[in-house]
Structure 1
Amino acid sequence: MTELYQHFRKEEHEFVDAVLEWQGQVLNQYSPKLTDFLDPREQDIVHTIIGSEGDVKVSFFGGYEGAERKRALLFPSYYEPSEEDYELELFEVKYASKFVTLEHRHVLGTLMSVGLRRSKYGDIIAGEERIQFIVAREMSSFVKMNISKMGKTSVSLQTKPLNSVMDNKEELELKETTVSSLRLDAVLSSIHNISRQKVQTLINGGHAKVNWKTLEQPSFECNEGDTLSLKGHGRARVVSINGKTKKEKWRITVGKLK
C-alpha cells in the first residue's frame, strides 16, 4: 500500500483510498460501480490504479467525445458497458439570448447554488447564444425543479438527447518559456506575464487551482501535465518540462486555453 501512495501527491491519498474501495466493491459484489463526475486528474488516478489488466476494468464517459469531466464505470471483466450505464442527462438552457448574455460562470454559479456538489455535474458547454450542461441523471429532476433563473435572467431547462451536444473543442495556445523554479508562483507568473508578488497574493487568497483543486501554497511544485487556473486569468497547462538551461533555469512548454 505504501508503494502505491508513492506514485501520488499527499493531497491525493484520500481519493486513492476511495478508488481502492470502489475496486473492492466490484470484486466483492461482482457488479458494476458508477462514480460521480471526475475531473481529468481524478480520471488519471483511477486509470493508473485499476489499469487494463485484472478482474476489474474501468471506462469513462462524459456525454460526448472530448468531454473533460466524466463518470467512471468500474466493472467485472465479463461485463460489456453501454452509454446508458453512465446515467447522464443533457440540459439546454433556454433564455432570451438576443437580449441577454449568459456565460460559463453564470451557469456554474447557479448550479452550485442549489446545494449539489460539483461532482454531480459534467461539462458546461457555452456557445454564442446557446448553453448546455450535463448532469448525473439521478439529480436531473431536482436540478430542473430548482433552477428558473441564472443571475437575473429567467431560464428554463430543456432535456436533450446526448447526440445533440454542442461542439466543445479545447484549443491550447502553446509557448515556450523559462522559469527560475517549478514553484506554482513562478510558473503562473511566467504564463500570465504578471508579477510573482501579485501571483502569490492571489494564491494565498485561494484564487489558484492545480488540477481543479484550490491550492494556497505558492511553493507547490508543478509537474508535467498539471492544469493550472488563476482567477481572472483563465486556465493553462504545463505541457512539458524540457530540462535546464546553462543558467540553471527550467525550460518549459505551457499552453493557455483559448
Structure 2
Amino acid sequence: MKLDIYEHFHPDEREFVDRAWEWVENAGQYHETKLTDFLDPRQIVIMNSLVNRHPDVHMRLDGGYEGAERCRALIAPDYRELDNEDMKLKVLHIDSMDQKFLTLEHGDYMGSILGLGIKRSKIGDIHVLDDGCHTVVCEEISAFLDMNLNQVHRIHVQSEILPIEQLRTGKISLETLDITVASLRLDGITSDVYRLSRSKVLIPIRAGRCRVNWKPVEDPSSQLKEGDVVSMQGFGRFKVLEAGDVTKKGRFRVKIGKFV
C-alpha cells in the first residue's frame, strides 16, 4: 500500500482501505473476483477511488434497485463481463399485518434483524411498507433470517424470501424541522437538531462518532451545506434540505429533514 493513498482518507477508514486495496490488487494481479458484503455510500466512494487507481480492474455495484444507498460490489479483472453476474441478492419480506396499535419503523426492523446476530454489512436497504417491510439481504444469510425472524419490536411477524426482482421500495420519510443558527457549523446545527447543549454535542463529534456524508468528521467547526447527510451514533441522522437564507439579525435559516 502506497502511503499517498492514506492521505485521501480518514484514519478510521484505513482498515477498510487496506481490505479494499487487497481486493483490487488480487483482481488485477491474480485475476480473482471478489463479491463484497453491502457497502455504505462512503465505502462505495473509497472503493471507486481505489478501483480507478488500477488500470486492469473494474467493478459493478448493485443494491437491488436503481438509487440504492447500500450496494454489494463485484470487483474483477477488466476483461470479465459483469453485467450478467449473479450479485447474490434476496428480498426478506416481513409481514406485519397484525399490528394494530403500534406502527413499526425502519429502526424497529433493523434492530430485530441485527438482534439475531447478523452483521450490518449483510443487510442492504430497508423499505418500510404499509403491509410490513422489504429488506435487501445477502443470499447467504437469507434462509437463516427466514427461519429465525418471528418478532419485530413486540409484534409477531411472518417472513418470506423473495427473488430480488420482486423488491418493493418504500418512500423515504423525513420529518422537517426549521431552525435558525448563528453559522452553518456542524456543532451548532447538530445541537439544535438533537436538542442537546453545545458542550454535549462536542463529545461525540470529537470522539469520531459523527459522520457527514458517511465520512467521520471530528472538527466541530466544519461547515455544513445543502444536501449534506449527518449522522451521530445513537441519535439517528438528518439531511440539510435548505441552507443559506439570512435573517435581519444575521442568522442562517436552515431546513432540516430528520430520517424517521
Q: TM-score range by the shorter chain?
A: 0.7 to 0.9
> SS of the residue aligned with 1:143?
helix
**Which SS does the other structure have where 2:47 is aligned?**
helix
Q: Does 1:109 align with 2:124?
A: no
CA separation of 1:235 and 1:94: change in aligned 2, threshold 3 A = same
Who is 2:92 aligned against? 91
The Cα offsets for residues 163-186 of structure 1, whole Å up to 9 and x where unpaired, read as: 22223455877989765474x422
Q: Which amino acid aligns with 2:61?
A: F
Matches of residues 161-240 of structure 1 in structure 2 within 5 Å? Answer: 161-170=163-172, 180=183, 182=185, 184-189=186-191, 195-200=197-202, 208-212=210-214, 219=220, 221=222, 227-230=229-232, 234-237=236-239
Give how far 1:39 is off.
0.4
Is this contact kept in 2: 1:90–1:159, CA < 8 A? yes
Is 1:13 matched up with 2:14?
Answer: yes
Q: Is the 8 A contact 1:179 1:187 kept in 2?
A: no
Q: Which residue of 1 aligns with 2:32?
A: 31
Q: Give yes or no for the alignment of 1:57 onto 2:58.
A: yes
Structure 1 pair 255–15 and aligned structure 2 pair: CA distance change class (3 A): farther
Q: Is contact 2:96–2:131 with CA below 8 Å preserved after alignment? A: no
CA contact (8 A) 2:12 2:216 kept: no
Q: Is the 8 A contact 1:19 1:46 kept in 2?
A: yes
Distance 1:64-1:252 versus aligned 2 partners, 3 A rule: farther
More deviation, 14-23/206-215: 206-215
* Cα drift, residue 238 of structure 1: 5.7
The two structures have a TM-score, normalised by structure 1, of 0.78
Question: In 2 relative to 1, CA 231–20 (structure 1 residues): closer, same or farther, beyond 3 Å?
Answer: closer
What is the alpha-carbon distance in structure 2 between the residues aligned to residue 139 and residue 60 of structure 1? 19
Deviations 1:199-223, CA, capped at 9 Å, x for gaps: 34676899755455888x5737467
User: CA 1:239 to 1:80, structure 2 compared with 1: closer, same or farther past 3 Å?
Assistant: farther
Structure 1 equivalent of residue 247 of structure 2: none
Which of 118, 128, 131 is residue 129 of structure 1 equivalent to?
A: 131
Between the aligned partners of 1:207 and 1:23, the Cα distance in structure 2 is: 29
Q: In 2 relative to 1, CA 82–204 (structure 1 residues): closer, same or farther, beyond 3 Å? A: same
Q: Secondary structure at the match of 1:25?
A: helix
Q: Indicate if the aligned counterparts of 1:226 and 1:238 stay in contact, CA closer than 8 A.
A: yes
Query: Aligned to 1:86, what secondary structure does the other structure show?
Result: coil
Q: CA RMSD in A?
A: 3.7
Equivalent position amino acid for 2:77 in 1: P
Decide whether the 8 Å contact of 1:56 with 1:74 is kept in 2.
yes
Q: Residue 69 of structure 1: CA displacement?
A: 0.7
The partner residue of 2:145 within 133, 143, 146 is: 143
CA contact (8 A) 2:10 2:216 kept: no
- 5+ unaligned residues in a row in structure 2: which ranges? 245-249
| Contact 1:186 1:196 (8 Å CA) reproduced | yes
CA offsets, 1:31-59, max 9 Å, x none?
32100100001001101111286110012
Post-superposition offset of 1:148 = 1.4
Runs of 4+ residues over 3 Å off in structure 1: 168-182, 190-195, 197-215, 217-226, 230-234, 237-242, 249-255
State the match for 2:46 in structure 1. Answer: 45
SS in 2 for 1:80: coil
Q: Letter of the 2:22 partner, please give it.
A: E
CA deviation map 1:137-190 (0-9, x unaligned): 0111111122111122221211223222223455877989765474x4224135
1:115 deviates by 1.0
Classify 1:12/1:93 alpha carbon distance in 2 versus 1 (closer, same or farther; 3 Å). same
The 1-side partners of 2:241 and 2:126 are apart by 24
**Is this contact kept in 1: 2:24–2:50, CA < 8 A?**
no
Q: Tell me the matched-pair count.
A: 250
Percentage of identical aligned residues: 34
In structure 2, the residue matched to 1:245 is none
